[in-house]
Structures are given as C-alpha cells and as structure tokens.
Amino acid sequence: MRPFRITACIALFACSLVMSAGPAHATFGGSNGLIAWTRPFFLTDSEIYVMNPDGTGMRPLTNNRSNDADPAWSPDGTKVAFESVTGDVFDLYVVQADGSGWQQITDETNRTDVQPSWSPDGTTLVFSRQKMDGTGSISLVSATGGTITMLTNEQRFNAHPVWSPDGSTILWESDRSGNHDLWLMNADGSNQAGPVRAAAWTTTCS
C-alpha cells in the first residue's frame, strides 16, 4: 500500500456519491486484504459478500431476505459493520469476518442509520442518521452499541462520514451551504468548517 494525499481519497469519495449505494459500494479490509461489497439479488434482498482481490474465495457474510449494504471493515480486519433494513428503516449491525456473531448496534423506528465508518482505534462508528424527509445528522455510537451522540444539526442533509487516519477529524457531505459539499469537523463535533477544497492530512488508500 502507498500513501496518497487525502485529495485523491476525496476525489474517489466524491465520485462514490453519484453511484448507487448498493452494488457500487465496496471496501478493502486493509489488514486482511479482503474486499467486502454489496451484492443485490432482488429489489428487497441484497447481501454482503467478501472475496480476495483477484476475485477468488467469494463467499457471503450475510444470508437473509433483507437489504444489507454499505459494508465497512474494522481496522484490524476482524469485523464488518453494515446497514440492514428492519421494517421500514435501516439499522447498523456488526458481524465477524467469518459471518458469525451478528450484533445489532442501533435500533431506531423513526430514523434510518446508514453508511458506517470505523474510528481508527476500532471502538466507535460514525454514521448518517437520516429522517424520512432526507435530512439527518452525522452521529457516533460505540462499536458494541449504546448511546447515540449527534455531531451535526439534523435539519440539513448530512451523509457519508469518514474518519481521518489519526481519528481526530471527520469528513462528511452536507448541503448546508446550498450545495452538496465536503465539510470537516473534530471527532467531538466541534469546529465544523467547510466547504472543503483541500485537506492537509495524508492517509493510506488501499
């Protein structure tokens, strides 16, 4: 793996926003080298699959009649966080890399929890908690579940959060400026600033 400027990662991130969330979303496991992605079967059924970078060893992590999507590997490659529909809304789940040990992380009836991203230390998930009207907040929850901490005002569109490599900063998409732009804030929600045109940190893109 080679280090790239965050601007390269932002470009990839921005491109992903125009793709459909289901089959287009895939992620490397980093430390384990596996790719996790969303494989659709029907309008109401998509599953999380993993495979080697050369396409071998393909296997399902989930196998149900729900829409499972947006997989995100934990930093140590032992777990995958993802969203799964429960009734009319999505909640967050975590599963072991072998498909065992499902754990429901959020349980919300009036919000839909999507797009999880792991903190670099593997203890916390940042995600988008969306309302039915399309607005929502960037929020935090422990990777084992518990109290939800809202980082942004939920009166605007806020989505697709990602952590900086050192865990101190979160990058996300918001329309608070009137356009869909990238914004930055501290991991505790303070110092929200944007739109972001460039960022100073470097990271490693798998």
Which of left, alpha, beta for 122 (phi over 0: left; psi -120 to 50: alpha)? left
Domain 3-196, CATH among 2.120.10.30, 2.40.340.10, 3.90.1150.10, 1.10.150.120: 2.120.10.30
Q: How far apart are CA 55 and CA 34, in angstroms?
A: 10
- Distance of alpha carbon 163 from alpha carbon 169, whole angstroms: 6
CA distances from 119 to 58, 110, 141, 164, 178 (A): 27, 26, 10, 8, 29
Query: What are the tokens at 182?
Result: 């990238």
Task: For the full predicted model, state whether its pTM sits above 0.85.
Answer: no
Under-70 pLDDT residues of the chain: 1-32, 86, 198-206
For 164-189, b where at least 16 C-beta lie within 10 A, e where not — what string? beeeebbbbbbebeeeebbbbbebeb
So where are the chain's domains?
3-196
What is the pLDDT, as a whole number, of residue 199? 52
Q: Which three-class secondary structure state does DSSP give residue 6?
A: helix
What gap in Å lies between CA 20 and CA 114, rounded to an integer?
Answer: 14
Q: What pLDDT sits at residue 27?
A: 62
